């Protein structure tokens, strides 16, 4: 045994003796009905700490890119001068450069000053995938802070309202309602208590006389995607009846007592959205998702006021303020942030708390690896008006294998148990992750990003 190992053994034995002495003394004091000040003062001296948070500094940020988990997802690792690190994730489909361009702006910062660092970098985020870099870095800071203070993230957010997080999941589509209904029924049998379906106009377009739209309308805009209102696409009565009959067949299989949400309608006009919502009323859907783009507050309100099914949007919105516009105007009935777009863990909790003040509940969009999913779990646990969290990876067989330190399978009978370990409560399983890399290398150096920041990033003159 080496000298250093001898020293470690002595320290470990001394610490164990100290702990035994402390708890023996504390037990005696408790038996007497009190804890003397001297005993209380001994507590920190007998607590093993691996980090001194006030002196923690960010020294590096590196990345890997995963594929098929369920999408292509960049994973962030932020390193520190004390050997602990934090994990984050850039939203699926976004460039890892959205995060790397922030590296020079966070080096040498104390990662425990999460809000300060977030306010420094949030100007470099944006709606949809452009919010992924800022949000992913923010998640990694929370993971680091939790490890530094040895507490789970939800505890730093004020504690939790629930021990388990309800999950809904996407299910492989079929134009045959009996086939799709059976797939949803199997979800119920797996323990899921909230179902989700895609209900696009593609169900009807193969049948003549169901959809009215100009031929080649997309080419008119140079092939660029356009907001729904500019695509001149209308459902006919025949098309409405086909889509309503499809939902009716699904309800016959899964029953009326379980929540059933719908998404991916296609580029419908506002009037067709309203007509479809009215045609589906009798099937008591739990929400109609992203019927038109989220930016159109007045038009969303027009739909929400006319339809008796909850209207939901939000997965592409960055920061709290646009959500407040929707909630204040009651343009939607439920908000639906994606934590890896919205600004991260704390911003998502702020969004939920704000929405609650307007009487609006919050669901969470999630097509992430276990890192992003667990970030959502902590935010959901700490937010009172939370309803349900998406998981887009229920059918990815290796998804739970990518991380260690948590109960497996992570999604178990329709729920994720909130972990009590420090930070996110997980570590990467390197061997499993390396089987699903979209790019070669394992957290390779990123020194070329160390000095691209400018000192005058302020937003005023």
Question: What distance in Å separates the CA atoms of residue 422 and residue 248, rounded to the nearest whole number?
Answer: 46
Cβ atoms within 10 Å, residue 98? 23
User: 154-188: per-residue pLDDT in tens?
Assistant: 999 999 999 999 999 989 999 999 999 999 999 99
pTM of the model: 0.88
Question: What distance in Å separates the CA atoms of residue 388 and residue 407, rounded to the nearest whole number?
Answer: 20
pLDDT at residue 50, as a whole number: 61
User: 6-62: per-residue pLDDT in tens?
Assistant: 433 433 444 444 445 444 444 444 444 444 444 444 444 444 356 789 999 999 999
Q: Which of 110, 117, 57 is nearest to 346 (CA)?
A: 117
Domains in the chain (CATH in brackets) are: 53-154+442-449 (3.30.390.10), 164-430 (3.20.20.120)
Question: What distance in Å separates the CA atoms of residue 277 and residue 288, rounded to the nearest whole number?
Answer: 8
pLDDT at residue 257, as a whole number: 97
DSSP 91: P
Q: In Å, what is the CA distance from 262 to each residue of 284, 288, 339?
A: 11, 5, 20
**Per DSSP, what are the bridge partners of residue 211?**
235
Angle between helices 3-31 and 37-45 (to 10 degrees): 150
Which residues of the chain are modeled with pLDDT < 70?
A: 1-50
**Can you say whether the dihedral through the CA atoms of 194, 143, 91, 293 is positive or negative?**
positive
**Burial class of residue 214, CB neighbours in 10 A (0-12, 13-18, 19+):** exposed
pLDDT at residue 49, as a whole number: 52
Question: What distance in Å separates the CA atoms of residue 58 and residue 298, rounded to the nearest whole number?
Answer: 44
DSSP 135: H
Degrees to nearest 5, angle at CA 235 with 232 and 239: 150
pLDDT at residue 453, as a whole number: 72
């Amino acid at each position: 045994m080496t000298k250093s190992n001898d020293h470690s053994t002595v320290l470990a034995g001394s610490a164990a003796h100290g702990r035994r002495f402390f708890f023996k003394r504390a037990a005696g004091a408790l038996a007497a009905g009190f804890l003397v000040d001297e005993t209380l003062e001994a507590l920190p001296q007998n607590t093993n700490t691996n980090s001194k948070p006030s002196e923690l500094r960010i020294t590096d940020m590196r990345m890997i890119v995963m594929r098929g988990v369920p999408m292509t997802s960049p994973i962030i690792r932020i390193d520190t001068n004390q050997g602990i690190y934090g994990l984050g994730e850039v939203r699926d489909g976004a460039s890892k450069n959205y995060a790397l361009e922030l590296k020079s702006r966070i080096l040498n910062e104390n990662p425990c000053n999460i809000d300060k660092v977030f306010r420094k970098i949030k100007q470099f985020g944006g709606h949809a995938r452009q919010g992924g870099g800022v949000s992913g870095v923010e998640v990694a800071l929370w993971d680091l802070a939790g490890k530094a203070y040895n507490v789970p993230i939800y505890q730093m957010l004020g504690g939790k309202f629930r021990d388990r997080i309800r999950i809904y999941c996407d299910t492989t589509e079929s134009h045959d309602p009996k086939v799709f209904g059976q797939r949803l029924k199997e979800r119920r049998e797996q323990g899921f208590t909230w179902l989700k379906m895609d209900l696009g106009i593609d169900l009807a377009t193969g049948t003549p006389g169901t959809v009215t739209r100009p031929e080649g309308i997309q080419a008119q805009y140079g092939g660029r995607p356009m907001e729904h209102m500019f695509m001149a696409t209308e459902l006919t009565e025949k098309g409405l009846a086909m889509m309503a009959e499809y939902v009716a067949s699904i309800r016959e299989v899964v029953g009326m007592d379980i929540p059933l949400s719908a998404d991916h309608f296609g580029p419908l006009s506002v009037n067709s959205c309203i007509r479809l919502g009215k045609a589906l009323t009798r099937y008591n859907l739990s929400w109609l998702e992203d019927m038109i783009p989220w930016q159109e507050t007045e038009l969303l309100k027009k739909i929400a006021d006319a339809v008796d099914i909850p209207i939901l949007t939000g997965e592409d919105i960055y920061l709290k303020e646009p959500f407040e516009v929707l909630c204040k105007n009651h343009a939607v009935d439920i908000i639906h942030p994606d934590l890896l777009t919205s600004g991260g863990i704390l911003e998502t909790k702020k969004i939920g708390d704000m929405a609650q003040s307007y009487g609006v509940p919050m669901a969470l969009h999630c097509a992430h690896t276990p890192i992003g999913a667990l970030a959502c779990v902590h935010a959901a646990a700490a937010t009172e008006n939370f309803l349900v969290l998406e998981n887009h990876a229920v059918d990815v067989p290796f998804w739970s294998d990518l991380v260690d330190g948590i109960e497996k399978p992570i999604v178990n009978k329709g729920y994720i148990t909130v972990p009590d370990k420090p930070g996110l409560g997980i570590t990467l399983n390197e061997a499993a992750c390396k089987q699903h890399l979209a790019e070669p290398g394992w957290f390779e150096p990123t020194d070329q990003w160390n000095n691209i920041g400018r000192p005058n990033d302020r937003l005023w003159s």
